[in-house]
Each structure stands twice: as structure tokens, then as C-alpha cells.
Chains A and B, each alone.
Chain A
Amino acid sequence: MNFDLTDDQEALRDGIRAVCQGRFTSDRVRAGFDRAVWDELAGTGVFSLIADGFAWADAAIAFEELGRAVVPGPLVWGVLAHGLVDGVPTGLDRPVGAPAMVEHLAASDTVLVLDGGTVRAVAASAVTGELLDWPLDPLTPITRVDALPEGDVLAAADAAAWRRQGAVLTAAFEAGMAHACVEAATEYSLGRKQFDRPIGSFQAIKHMLADAVVRAEVARTAVHAAAVTLDDPEVGDVDRAIAGAKLLAGEAALKNAKTSVQVHGGMGFTWEVDAHLYLKRAWLLNTVFGTPDACADALAAGLPAA
């Protein structure tokens, strides 16, 4: 047992982090997702990690870094559908009795639909709907689609496996966001002075940030355990590990983003500071691949009831 990052995994983490710091600056991220972003990410190999022989644990480490930079785009679907569809894929779980909310439709070629036990592929050009004027997350355009075409069954895809894998990657992204929020708020609290001292010297601030770093690190550990269990199901209960990871990472991203807004004070309420981008993405990601409530209920359902 060595449940710590290997040297190769540290190198992978550092490599993706360097790419994000170099290319996915705040300005670039704020410009939103487009094919150039897709091509650059594809060039780093982040979508083909599994096909290239890496493990889900490695993919999770890479997605933590994308989450740190809050990179926009249907990135999880890029990994799930790698090698199965051409161009840019987006996707969603088919809603029951409600309109489908399709993310990044305009920038995508294929919409993948998790439909019970199967995955269906729909040409993006065949999907029509109403683009939300002001999506909550300004970097995730959403199209409201009342009638989602049936599409074709993607026989090579396993819907149950995709749900697990998608939850792990999304949770990894959220854990990365949670850490980035602590770092941004910490940096601000050291530079911002009130009452002639950095606000980061006040225990009221210090304790908020201490709780935030605990949440982020516990979530990150849960994500790693889930990814390792996905790679090697004999070491634990895969669904339990994934539900726990998605729950804790989703909560950590949301609570830490709120902490960041609060620590930034008035500036945290502005468009100019990035804190709101993390908060809005956290709300959005908590609606996919397992809401915190659904994950908690699933975990409890795994325990005996009277």
C-alpha cells in the first residue's frame, strides 16, 4: 500500500498545472470555451489519458488541476467519449419529464445522452432549443431543449461505467476548485489591510480558511480513494467510494467558494474578482453526476435500515 502520489503522478500534476498557469489565465478562462481551448487541451493529452494507458487516478489528478483553474468546457465528456465520437462531445443524463439543459451546445459536435443503461449519440446540429440569455455560470452556456432527438445507441459505451467515471472526474475538478478558492482567499487576506493589519491575522478569517483547507484536503483524499477504487475494485466498494467523493468534493467546492467570496468582502461581490466564477461553477457541478443529497442518500441506503 502506498496511497500517496507516485513520482510520475506528481510530474503529471505539475505538468498540467504548468499548462493551466501558462495558458488558462483568468483572461483566457473568462473568454469561455471554444474549439481553440479544446484543441489546446487535446494537445496536452488530457482527454486521451485512459486510452494512452493511464489510470483513472491519473485522470483525476489532471482534472484537479483543470478545476484549480476553473477551465470551462464539456471536459469530462471529452474523456468519457474519447475515441468513440469525432469532434467535441458534450453530454447529459436524460431528464425525466423536464426539458434537457444542454451545456456548450454551440461549441460541440455531438450530444451524448445517458439514457438508462445505454448511451445515445445525437448530432449537435440536430438539437434545437433556446439558449439561456444569462446562464448562472457565465462560462457555461446552456441551451434549453424541450425535445431531445433519440439519436443512435453508442454500443461501445457503458452508461453505468460512464456515470462512475464522470462522477470521479467531476469530483476531482471540484476538489481542485476547493483548493484554489482557499489559495485565492488566503492571498487576498494577506494583502488586504484594515485596522492597520492584514485581515488574514484575524482569527475570524483564519478559522474560516482553516476549515476551508480541511474541507479541500479531505475531499481531495476521498476523490483519490474513489479513483483508485475505480481502477482496482477489489480494494473497496466502488459506488460507496464515488458517492462519498462526489458528496464531499461538491460540498467543499461550494463552501470554499462562498468562503472566498466572503473573505474578499465587497470585492467578492464584484464581477472583476474570480471568486464568483468558482461559486457559480460549484453550484452547476453539484447538479451533475450525483447531487450532494443524492450521494448522501445513496450512502445511507447502503447501510442497514430497520
Chain B
Amino acid sequence: MDLRYSASDEAFRAELRAWLGATLPQLPPEPPRDDWPARVVYDTDWQKRLYEAGYAGMSWPTEYGGRDAPPSEQLIFLEECSNAKAPYVGVNFVGTLHAGPTLIAEGTDAQKAAHIPKILRGEEVWCQCFSEPDAGSDLAGLTTRAVRDGDHYVVTGRKLWCSFGQVGEYGELLARTDPDVPKHKGISWFILPMDLPGIEVRPIETILGSSEFCEVFLDEVRVPVEQIVGKENDGWRVTNVTLSFERGTAFVSEMVDAMRMAEELAPRVHDPADRRELGHVIAEFDALWALTKRNVSRAATKGDTGLGGMIMKLAYSEARDRLCELSMRVLERGAFDVHEPYVEERLRTLSLTIAAGTSQIQRNILSERVLGLPRERQWPVGE
């Protein structure tokens, strides 16, 4: 057990720091959060710079233009970028972290050739069309239909919480291709060109008053059959394959950011009880940072992150919630403005315990897969 970075890790860090130091001052000012056209320009420009410098696709295989970096370098990359306040992955999120890895694992040669290089170079923006009004935690219960009609699937339904829906050129779409089999076995994964006729995108106003997510209406959208990824009805497995790309570095950027927030908040925390709470928050983030190093180490040596990977989302989101609640206790009421960074962060953090598996779903998964406890009986319970 050791926490020392290797000489090659440190060399990578030094080289990256030098590049960040030279590159970040050249960036234009960050656009306002709801100016989506400007955000696309800003975020994809950053992705292009990363690509040209060899830092795009840190975890991607080299044959797809990635760097195939060891997990420790992936950790250092995220840590240094966050420390230097480099742009966040932004509108490139779905493409680089979700759709791209899915296509690498499951796409055809033609699908890979059409999308992988563009995603990596910041030339193609993706959005996600997974959740539905009646399929949230129970995602596999989705009802958007895709009916085969010659060379096309005809897709009809409603998608919700589509991140970057207003700017995505392609969507990763889950739709039901067989309604007569158990729910996990009748779903397919599609590449959805967002400019097809029959697609309407409406922004959702969030608790922040911003438009991070969209609702997408699909009305008999004709999707060419070559846009299916993986086999028909195998979409649930395809969706879960993506997760195996993650090499223990989940939440690194967010955690560096949270630790900085705690340090910056410290001078405003005066009350002894609040100071004590600050100490608790620091202990938790220090421990989760150590846990990240454990997960990265395990990903490198054992290929999976084990228990540490399974608890990270729940532990991190709850710790961040605690930090945000502390910030609200120490702010003056005059600072209760949604554009005040701590207030904005407090509101945004409410989504962490909900999105991508609520804390309650995380607890179910942990208790079943780690502790071996049985599933709760389904309702209605038969007599």
C-alpha cells in the first residue's frame, strides 16, 4: 500500500501543468450558462485543444485515437485540469464519456468511423435520450416504441432529462423493440440523428431557473436500421457496457472542486459548531480522495474497482450535500441570490443524489450486490 506517484506519473503531471499554464490564458471568457450556442463553441474548442495536444480520450484505446493512459495518469489529468480551473467537459460529456465508449465497445466499423474521430476532436455533440416521464429509477420500464418498418425503425415516445438535448447533433436513444418479453429483454440502443423529422426538443426549467435538461418528443421518427448499436433487443446490456470504461476516476473533477470550495468557504465559517462541521466535511472528502486512489489502483492492477467503486457515488453526493448545507448556514441573507456561487452550487447539488441512480437506488444496489440481501417483494403482493 503506497501513495507515491511514480516518476513517469510525475513527469506526466509536469508536462500537463506546463501545457495548461500556456494554454488556459489563451481561452476566451466563459459564456453564460444558458447561452447554448456559445457554450457549444467554447466547450468544443476546448475539446479540440485537448485533442491537438494529445490529451483527448485519456482512457480510450489508441486505435481509436485515444491515449490509453494508465489509470494513475487519468487521475492526474482530471486532478490537474480541475486544479487549474480548466473548462469542464461540458457539452462533450455524453459523447466523450458515454456514447463514444459505447460505440467503441459495441458499434459497427461504419458507426465507429462515422462518430469516434469527430467526438474526440470536438466536432460532434451528443445528448442522451434514456429516461422517460414514467421510467426514471425504473429505466428498463421505458415505453418509447421502435417498430421495424422495412429499412427503418419508426420511433414514437417521450424522453425526459435529456442532457444537452438543445444542442446535441446525435442522441443515444433507448427504445422498446419488443413489448412482449420481460422488460430488460426488449430494449434496443440507437444512434438518433437529432435533425430527423418528428423530433421536438423543449428545454426544462430546472430548480436553478436554468435549462440543463430537455424533454424530447418523438413522433413517428424514422430511424435507419443501420443506426442500431448492438443487436435488436440487446440494448440493456449495451447500456451497461459503457460503465466498464470507467477506471476508478469517477467524480475526480467534482471532488477537487468540492475540496477547493471547502477551503474557500473556511474563512467565512466562524461559529464553533460550524467550524466543527467543516472539520467533518474535510475528513469525508480527504477519505473519498484516498478512496479514489484506491479505486484507481485497483482498476490498474485488478481490472475492477470493487466495493470502493460501488460506494463512491453515494458517499460523494452525500458529502457534497453536507458541504453545501454548511455553506447555506454561513452565508449572509444578503447573499441569498441564485447567482451567488454558493447558492447556485447548493441548488445544483440537489441533483447529485437524484441523477444517474438516486441515493435510494444506490442503497438498494449496495445492499443486494455487496451484502447479499434479498430484493423487496414487488407490489402488489399476491396472496
Contacts and interface: CB of A to CB of B under 8 A. Distances in A.
The number of chain A residues touching the other chain, given as a range, is: 35 or more
Given A1-B293, A222-B287, A228-B3, A182 B371 contact: yes
A124 interface: no
Contacts of A245: 287
Nearest to B263: A303
A221 B367 contact: no
Interface stretch (A40-48, A198-206, A270-278): A198-206
A207 B307 CA distance: 16
B286 interface: yes
A300 B4 CA distance: 26
B133 to A, nearest CB: 24
Contact of B267 (A198, A209, A304): A304
Interface residues of B, number: 58
A197 interface: yes
B287 A248 contact: yes
Contacts of A304: 263, 266-267
B62 to A, nearest CB: 23
A181 B284 CA distance: 21
A3 B293 contact: yes
Interface string B240-282: 0000000000000000000000110011111010011111101
Interface in A253-306: 293, 295-306
Dominant SS at the A interface?
A: helix
Contact of B297 (A2, A234, A300, A302): A2
30 contacts: A1-B3, A1-B296, A3-B1, A3-B296, A4-B297, A4-B298, A6-B1, A186-B372, A190-B372, A200-B371, A201-B373, A201-B377, A203-B360, A206-B368, A207-B360, A207-B367, A210-B314, A218-B287, A219-B287, A221-B291, A221-B308, A222-B286, A224-B1, A225-B293, A244-B287, A248-B287, A296-B280, A300-B282, A305-B266, A306-B270
Interface of B: 1-6, 9, 72, 262-263, 266-270, 272, 275-280, 282-284, 286-288, 290-291, 293-294, 296-298, 300-302, 307-308, 311, 314-315, 360, 362-364, 366-368, 370-377
Interface of A: 1-6, 9, 57, 182, 186, 189-190, 197-198, 200-203, 205-207, 209-211, 213-214, 217-219, 221-222, 224-225, 227-229, 232, 234-236, 240-241, 243-245, 247-248, 293, 295-306
